[in-house]
Amino acid sequence: MPRNERIDSDLVVVGAGAAGLYSALTAASLGASVTVISATPLAQTASYWAQGGLAAALGADDSPELHLADTERAGRGLVRRSAAEVLVNEAPEMIGRLQEIRMRFDADSSGDLALGLEGGHSRRRIVHAGGSSTGRRLARQLSAALVREPKVTILEGARASNLWTEDGRVVGVVCEDDRAVRARATVIATGGAAALWNRTTNPPGSIGIGIMLARSAGAAVADLEFVQFHPTAVVGVPGREGFLISEAIRGEGATLVGPDGERFVDELAPRDEVAREIWAMLDQHAVESVGLDMTSVDAERFPNINDALMQAGIDPSKELIPVAPAAHYLMGGVVSDLNGATTVAGLYVIGESACSGLHGANRLASNSLSECIVFGARAARSALDEPTVSSGEPPSSVPLQLPSRETREAMWRNAGLVRDRSGLEQLLEDPYPLAALVARCALAREESRGAHWRSDFPSLDSGLDSMHAVISGTDPAFEHWQ
């Protein structure tokens, strides 16, 4: 499409990870015209990198109620129950929907879905594809289904620069090269912001672009103090820094050992707990890694992890893997209701960019890909009920701001696993606006809960149960969500 060209669609989706692709597919299957804007090639979306699977209560010994209880326990008193109920009730059916578009999940020896276990789950309920290649296979399958849809336009390599608003309503998106898409509704699905932290499991593009786009159109954001640190990312191995070793491997029996070779943590406790125990061990012994022992696990079942480690010179069937926590997932994001609607008319948000309250203070493993599918579908259906929009002229594009290396280092130093007031205050003047917003939320929450650990407020304040730090203007205000 030439510069300055305009496209009219029913829906425009920004981002082509699992949430964006599934939302676009749902809208297209309802007969809508859809434009998908994708800045990066597929292989750089966080979904494509995802090693975990999709959590759904499918086992004979499982139920949505048990899945809900685990989600709430992991979320440490901050899970919005209505959002979690949507997820646990709709996830099992969504697995069936994905199978209908020829997504093949791993099966056990009887041909039934193989259900994996991960931290914080009381039952086996994670479906995988290709072991730890679930995200890659899901992204491929969804893109293959999407390109078969005649009313879908995909703008690959296009970067959304700003939202097009008229009379307080979002009516489309302007790309960096001044191409514009006008639509009844705009869906932000650009992923999270964990790459804003120097040590991360995420692709470099996970810097909160969608969150900033939505905020500049006036949308409220919330819970930005809650970034999840994954316990087991490779450390000290050149070329593999931050490479994720899936929790599914601990689900199959891998253990964590300290410098003395002894186990020190329940490897299948919720992620915030395991990450903090590792952090304490690193601090106590002044070392940079603990050992992940997967010698008892059949590494061939996790081919991409096995291959990556072997290429880096580590044989996981014989050696310990050096691991330490790394920023992995933002629980906060753009405030959204149960259909992905934001506080601005015409604007929706799904996947990691969204904050519906589903994950509370600490996301339960593998709930996120399920969220992408469940809420991606709901947002598409709801967005198509928006009215058709007027025909004014789009604004000019605005240059995108990127975080510097100094910002990313400062985020790791001052908003890492353990933070305090003086460190957080240093982020308030950071030139990357999202860094300062994270600091404002983290300063407002004067307690320790889930992924947010304040050394100067080490206890949980039960007065903040179900209270979410929402920023509509400059400073956060606590709101009670149910």
Name the site residues for ligand SIN (rule: CB under 6 A): 51-52, 246-248, 329, 365-366, 368
Distance of CA 7 to the CA centre of its chain: 29
Q: Print burial letters for 64-82: b (CB count within 10 Å at least 16), e (below 16).
A: bebbbebbbbbbbbbbbbe
Residue 403 contacts residue 389 (beta carbons within 8 Å): no
Give the residue from 459, 455, 458, 457 showing the smallest Cα distance to 419: 455
Residue 271 catalytic?
A: yes
Q: State the Cα torsion 88-97-126-280 to the nearest 10°.
A: -70
- Min dist CB 17 to ligand SIN, Å, is 13
Q: Which amino acid does the sequence have at 142?
A: L
Residue 49 contacts residue 243 (beta carbons within 8 Å): no
Closest CB to ligand SIN among 342 and 370?
370
- Min dist CB 291 to ligand SIN, Å, is 17
- Min dist CB 228 to ligand SIN, Å, is 8
Closest CB to ligand SIN among 184 and 328?
328
What is the rounded distance in angstroms from the CA atom of residue 87 to the CA atom of residue 451?
21
- Min dist CB 246 to ligand SIN, Å, is 3
Q: In what order do the strands lie in the sheet with 54-55?
A: 54-55, 126-127, 115-116
Residue 190 contacts residue 306 (beta carbons within 8 Å): no
Closest CB to ligand SIN among 47 and 289?
47
What is the rounded distance in angstroms from the CA atom of residue 308 to the CA atom of residue 129?
18
Which burial class, exposed, middle or buried, applies to 264 when counting CB atoms under 10 A from its CB (0-12, 13-18, 19+)? middle
Contacts for 371 with CB less than 8 Å, ≥ 6 apart: 19, 87, 351, 358
Catalytic entry in 271, 276, 378, 440: 271
Give the residue from 125, 159, 126 showing the smallest Cα distance to 50: 126
Closest CB to ligand SIN among 164 and 226?
226
Active site residue ranges: 271
